[in-house]
Chains A and B, each alone.
Chain A
Amino acid sequence: MECRRFRDIADSYLSEELLVETNHEVLRHLETCPVCRAELAARRQVRRVLRSAFARAEELQPAPDLADRVRQFAQARVAEPEPVTRRARVLQLVRRAAWSGRSVSRRWAVAAMLLVAAGAAGAMVSQGWGPLSDDLVATRSPTGTPTGRALMEVAPFAAGDHRECALQGRPESWVALDEASRRFDPVYAGLADVVRRDRTLPKRTTTSIADVVDGHSCVFQGRRFGHVMLKHAGRLVSVLVTNFSVTQKSTGLARLTGRDGSRRVAACSHNADFRVACFRAPHHAVFIVSDLGEQDNLAIARSVAPSLQQHLAVLGEKHASYGTSGLGDLWSYSERTTSDEVVPAVPATVTLRPPTGP
C-alpha cells in the first residue's frame, strides 16, 4: 500500500469501517512506515481532543434543570390521550410547537391562528390526567347559582383574552401591572409575584408550573383583566383577574364556598377550545384558561387560588368605589368604572370575534 492510499483511508480505518482485507493491508503498511504511523496517531489524537472538547466546553453544557424539564415535559405528553382525528392531531402539534420555545413561537402562533381562522378549532380532544384530590373536582360547574351564572357569563371574555392576548399576542390596551394598578385597579400591583409564589401544584399531580412568563393588564371586548401568563408542560396558561360582583343575594353560594369558608375553584369551560376554571375573591373573579386537560387546568387554579384570594382580599378592600364593600354573599353586579375607562355591562351572550390576522 502506498502512503497516499493510506492517507485516503486512514480515517475509515480509525472508524473501523474498512473491509477485513483492506484492514490487513493497512496494518502491514503501518509496520513499515513511521510517517503514516505518526499521521495515524495524530488523527486519532485530533478525534480524542474533539470528543473531550465537546464533553467539556462550557458553552455546550446543558442547564442544570434541563433533565428535570425534559422529564416533566415528556411525562406530561404521555399523559395526554392521542387525538382521534387528523384535524385534532394537526391542531395539537401546532399548539405544542407554538409554545415549545421563544425562537419559534411567533411563526407557529401565526400558523396556529390561521388554522383556527380556517375553522379548524373545536376538534381538540379533552385531555385527562390521573386522579386528583376530591375537593378539587367537587365543583364541576357553577351554573346552579346566580353567582355561578354570572361567572359563566364572564368566562367567554377570559377565554377570548387568553386567545387574543396570550396565544396570538394581540392584546387590546396592554398596560404594565404597576401602571394598571394606579390607573384601574390596585389589585393588579404585584399580581405576577403573587402567582409566582404558588407555582407548586398539589402533591398528586406529576408536574409543576414551569414559570411565570409575563404579567400585564389588557382588555378583551371592553373587559379589563390583570393577566399573568404561565408556562406549564409546554403550554401557555392565563391567570386572569377581573372585576366581578353580583347584586342579588344568592341562595346557592354554598356550592362555591367550602366548609372552611374558602371559595372553591369551579370548572366553567364553555366550549371545546379552552378549559376555563374560576374562583371568586372579594370584588373580583379569577379565571384560569388553557388548552390543558380539565383536571390539569383545575389543578393550576387550585394551586394559585389561596395566595390570590388573600392578595385580592387585602387590596380589594381598598377599592372604595364598589357598590358594596365585600359583605359576604352580597355582591354588586355593577362594574367599577374609572374616569378614563368605561367598562360595559356584561351581555347575556358573548360572541367571540374570529381572529382577523397576525
Chain B
Amino acid sequence: MPKSTRVGEASDRWGDFETVALPHLESLFRLALWLERDRTTAEDLVQETFAQALQSFHRFEPGTNCRAWLVSILQHLRSNRRRTLARQPQLSDVGDLEEQLAETLAYEPPTPEGISEEEVLQALKKLPASFQEAIVLADVEQFSYKEIAEILGIPLGTVMSRLHRARKLLRTELAGYANARGIGLAATRAVSS
C-alpha cells in the first residue's frame, strides 16, 4: 500500500476519533477517578483506554454508543489491573453482601427532598464499591441496564437486582442526612399538602 494512502487513512481515523471518542474524555476520567479513588491510576486508565480505543477504532460501529464502548474498555483494563495487582476482587463478596442488605432493607425509605450535591456524593461513598459502580453507570452515565450488563460482564438480572438494592441503600443514607438536617420527605410533604 502506498505510504501516502496509509498516512491519509491514519489522518482520517484520528479525525473521526477526535470527533466521536475524545469528547467523552472528561466523563470517562470522572468515572475512573470515582471508581479507583486515585488520580494517577485514573489518569493511567483513561490514557490507556483511549490508546487502545484508537488502535481498535476500526472495529467501532458508527452510530452505536461510543461512550459505552469506551467504558467497556476502561472496565476491562480495571479488571486486568485488579487481577494483576492480586488484590481481592471487589465483586467477589457482593453476593453475600447483597443478601445481607436485602434482609436488612425490607423497609423502603421515602426519598428526601432538598439534598445537596455534597450530601449525595457523601452518601454514595458509603455504599459498597459494586453498588457505587452500578449507580454511577445507571444514574450518572445513564447507560441502559443491557449496556451495564455488557460493561460489567454480568447477567441482566444481576444488574437489575444490584441496582434495586443499591438505590434503596442510597435512599436510606440520604434519609439519614435529611433527618439530621430536618429536611422534609417527599411522601410526607405530599400527604400534608
Contacts of A130 in B (CB 8 A): 7
Interface residues of B in 8-26 (CB under 8 A from A): 10, 13-14, 17-18, 22, 25-26
C-alpha gap A14/B175 in the complex (Å): 20
B145-A17 in contact (CB<8A):
yes
Q: For the complex, is A149 an interface residue (Cβ under 8 Å from B)?
A: no
Q: For the complex, is A42 an interface residue (Cβ under 8 Å from B)?
A: yes
A54-B34 in contact (CB<8A):
yes
Interface residues of A in 23-66 (CB under 8 A from B): 34-35, 37-39, 41-43, 45-47, 49-57, 59-63, 66
B54-A77 in contact (CB<8A):
yes
Q: Which of B14, B22, B84, B163 is the one whose CB lies under 8 Å from A67?
A: B22
Q: Which of B40, B112, B190 is the one whose CB lies under 8 Å from A34?
A: B190
Contacts of B25 in A (CB 8 A): 62, 66-67, 70
Q: For the complex, is B150 an interface residue (Cβ under 8 Å from A)?
A: no
B20-57 interface code vs A (CB 8 A; 1 in, 0 out): 00100110011001100011110110111011011100
A103-B44 in contact (CB<8A):
yes
A41-B186 in contact (CB<8A):
yes
Nearest-neighbor residue (CB-CB) of B136 within chain A? A54
Q: For the complex, is A69 an interface residue (Cβ under 8 Å from B)?
A: yes
B187-A35 in contact (CB<8A):
yes
CB distance from B75 to the nearest CB of A (A): 17
Q: For the complex, is B81 an interface residue (Cβ under 8 Å from A)?
A: yes
Q: Which of A35, A52, A66 is the one whose CB lies under 8 Å from B190?
A: A35
B117-A11 in contact (CB<8A):
no
C-alpha gap A295/B166 in the complex (Å): 53
For chain A, which range describes its interface: under 10, 10 to 19, 20 to 34, or 35 or more residues? 35 or more
Contacts of B7 in A (CB 8 A): 130
B40-A46 in contact (CB<8A):
no
Q: For the complex, is A129 an interface residue (Cβ under 8 Å from B)?
A: no
Q: Which of B30, B50, B170 is the one whose CB lies under 8 Å from A70?
A: B50
Contacts of B120 in A (CB 8 A): 46, 49-50, 53
Q: For the complex, is B66 an interface residue (Cβ under 8 Å from A)?
A: no
C-alpha gap A55/B171 in the complex (Å): 21
B166-193 interface code vs A (CB 8 A; 1 in, 0 out): 0100110010000000000111011101
Q: Which of A42, A97, A111 is the one whose CB lies under 8 Å from B113?
A: A42
Q: For the complex, is A107 an interface residue (Cβ under 8 Å from B)?
A: yes
Q: Contacts A17-B144, A42-B186, A73-B51; is A104 near B44 (CB within 8 Å)?
A: yes
A39-B145 in contact (CB<8A):
no
B51-A34 in contact (CB<8A):
no
Contacts of B48 in A (CB 8 A): 96, 100
Q: For the complex, is A1 an interface residue (Cβ under 8 Å from B)?
A: no
CB distance from A112 to the nearest CB of B (A): 12
Q: For the complex, is A140 an interface residue (Cβ under 8 Å from B)?
A: no
Contacts of A46 in B (CB 8 A): 111, 115, 120, 170-171, 174
Contacts of A73 in B (CB 8 A): 47, 50-51
C-alpha gap A47/B135 in the complex (Å): 10
B55-A60 in contact (CB<8A):
no
A78-B55 in contact (CB<8A):
yes
Q: Which of B110, B112, B139, B186 is the one whose CB lies under 8 Å from A51?
A: B139
CB distance from A69 to the nearest CB of B (A): 7
CB distance from B53 to the nearest CB of A (A): 8
Report B's interface with A, CB cutoff 8 A.
Answer: 7, 10, 13-14, 17-18, 22, 25-26, 29-30, 33-34, 38-41, 43-44, 46-48, 50-51, 53-55, 81, 84-85, 108, 110-113, 115-118, 120-121, 124, 135-136, 138-140, 142, 144-145, 160, 163-164, 167, 170-171, 174, 185-187, 189-191, 193
Give 8 pairs: A residue, B residue, CB < 8 Å, sorted on A.
Answer: A17-B145, A35-B190, A56-B117, A70-B47, A74-B53, A77-B55, A104-B41, A104-B85
Q: Which 6 A-B pairs have the closest CB atoms?
A: A38-B190, A53-B117, A42-B186, A101-B44, A42-B111, A38-B186
